[in-house]
Structure 1
Amino acid sequence: MRDFVRRHPWAAILLAVVNVVLLSVAVAVLIVIVTADAGFAAGRPEVAAASQAAAANGSALLGAAIAMAGSAIGAGVAVAYTGAAALAAMSERPELFGRAMVVVGLAEGIAIYGLIVAIILVGQAR
């Protein structure tokens, strides 16, 4: 990775710009979701109740998305490190294959935990 960045410094700058743009769009969408229907239902209790229910459902779904995204990113980082270490260990001692795969599987379990939390939150949203 470092050699690629040294040969192509524009790629690192482009990646940083894309990340900043995606972050700003995500924050803008989050602000719109949180502040949606704040003044729409003034004086109309039935609309206000429906609006609050929709906002609660949206918040639960947003929480499910954040849980799944965070756990998937965490699992990806964990599998990257444990997979590299497992391959290095197996290149020296091939009999460590079973133990190495257990460690990589445990790292992948992080994504499964996030999926379970997301499923529970989606169930609460209905």
Structure 2
Amino acid sequence: MLTVIELVLPLVLLVLITLPLIKVFKGKTTVESARKRLLTHISGFFSIIAFVFVFQMIFSPALQAAEGDVASIAGTMAQGLGFISAALSTGMSALGAGIAVAAAAPAAIGAFSENEKNFGKALIFVALGEGVAIYGILISILIINKL
């Protein structure tokens, strides 16, 4: 069962994160003010994330286990960070592959339209961009297998 602080703290943090951007959403601010608000928003976000990590480390019951016990990471912050790292490796590699294919595919089509013999050479560069996504998925599978 969740305690009151575990229910209220995320709501308070969510309000604090979105608070600097209210005037930006309403359209009642200048560009310079919007930049300042965005920097405030980003710095507030990362400071809140750091606070949550410190709060979790201090009050986590998994960290208060006896030293003689062999602790598993099931349900701990370490497992959560492992899943986040697996998701980031897949997501960022897919984003990088999309950028690579977006640059290579039009060039390959242009090279093919000028000379039909360039098809094989151009296709290799498009496939190299897709390889980045495959490597990211492989890394995320290895991370999840370690959890």
- How would you bin the TM-score normalised by the shorter chain? 0.5 to 0.7
Matches within 5 A, 1:11-30: none
Q: 1:50 to 1:113 in 2, by over 3 A?
A: closer
Aligned to 2:59: 40
Structure (1 or 2) with the greater helix fraction: 1
Aligned to 1:87: 109
Aligned to 1:78: 100
Instruction: Report the identity percentage.
Output: 30
One-letter amino acid of the counterpart of residue 97, structure 1: F
Structure 1: gaps (5+ residues): 1-12, 14-19
Report which of the two structures shows the higher radius of gyration computed on alpha carbons: 2
| Cα deviations by residue, 1:66-116 (Å, 9 ceiling, x for unpaired) | 111111111001001110110110111122112211211111100000010
Shift of 1:59: 1.4
**Does residue 106 of structure 1 match 2:125?**
no
Structure 2: gaps (5+ residues): 1-30, 32-37
Aligned to 1:66: 88
TM-score, with structure 2 as normaliser: 0.56
Q: Cα RMSD (Å) of the superposition?
A: 3.5
In the alignment, is the contact (CA less than 8 A) between 1:41 and 1:51 conserved in 2? no
Aligned to 2:138: 116
Q: 1:92 to 1:44 in 2, by over 3 A?
A: closer
Instruction: Report 1 or 2 for greater relative contact order, CA contacts < 8 Å, sequence distance ≥ 6.
Output: 1
TM-score, with structure 1 as normaliser: 0.64
Give the number of aligned pairs: 106
Distance 1:97 1:29 in 2: 51
Distance 1:105 1:69 in 2: 18
